Amino acid sequence: MKKIYFMALCMGLMGMTSCGNKTEQAEEPAAQTVEEQGLKIAYVEIDTLMQKYQFCIDYNELATIEGENIQRTLTGKQRTLEQHAAAMQKKYESNGFTSQEELTRAQQSLQAEQQALQELSERLQASFMEEQAKYNEEMRDSVQKFLKQYNRTKKYDFIMAKAGDNMLLANPKYDITNEVLKGLNKRYKVKPEVAEKLKKNEKKADEKKK
């Protein structure tokens, strides 16, 4: 669950226009065409952005905390269900049920408990995914707003997102990752509620080490 949150952003984070890869064309003529048309192109390494943009660092940690809380809740409920099932089995084997009706009610109660756990799991998972979608949209919006401001002076025609092997070849001289990263981190302000959650988690981690 912990890895779900931001990984889906890699291919579409920037929301900027990107050029398709045309492997059948020779590299030099393509480069000449760009120069002749006066196009100004740059790209950003998404992997680096995900690792070093403080927004990503904070929200990745926050998502980890929330994911672990959900897992802890479901594990506790599952353990309780298993205990109830074991108790019912033990009572059945020791002929503790006085009638078939009593056994049936116990079985129905256990089934209802199992169904409730399943529904709780689905609700928590759906809520988690909804929160991550909101965080992802917020991050994408922050990057796009920064790039619009950044590009007022840079005047790039294309700013592309380089993630994994989605770009087969890229000249490092067009890499503006560090410049963008520096600007993003400079303008980033963590929300008070996020800072509070991160602070509480850090405190818990310190207490565990003692």
Using the structure block, give the residue that is written with the tokens 């003692």: 210
pLDDT classification of 3: cutoffs 50, 70, 90: very low
* Cα 59 to Cα 85: distance, rounded to the nearest angstrom: 39
Using the structure block, give the residue that is written with the tokens 């065409």: 33
Distances from the Cα of 113 to the Cαs of 84, 96, 202, in angstroms?
9, 21, 35
Dihedral sign of CA atoms 83, 86, 88, 90 in order: negative
Q: Is residue 92 predicted with pLDDT exceeding 70?
A: yes
Dihedral sign of CA atoms 12, 133, 124, 67 in order: positive
What residue type is 34 in one-letter code? V
Tell me, what's the pLDDT at 183?
96
* Cα 14 to Cα 180: distance, rounded to the nearest angstrom: 12
- Of the candidates 74, 69, 38, the one whose C-alpha atom is nearest the C-alpha of residue 131 is 69
Q: Is residue 88 predicted with pLDDT exceeding 90?
A: yes
- 3-class DSSP assignment, residue 62: helix
**Which residue has better confidence, 22 or 134?**
134
pLDDT classification of 210: cutoffs 50, 70, 90: low
Using the structure block, give the residue that is written with the tokens 């579409």: 12
Between helix 54-93 and helix 177-187 the angle, nearest 10°, is 80
DSSP state string for 166-197: SSS---GGGB-HHHHHHHHHHH----HHHHHH
For 142-174, write each residue's pLDDT tens digit. 999 999 999 999 999 999 999 988 888 889 999
Q: Is residue 191 predicted with pLDDT exceeding 50?
A: yes
For 67-82, write each residue's pLDDT tens digit. 999 999 999 999 999 9
Tell me, what's the pLDDT at 203?
78
- 3-class DSSP assignment, residue 11: coil
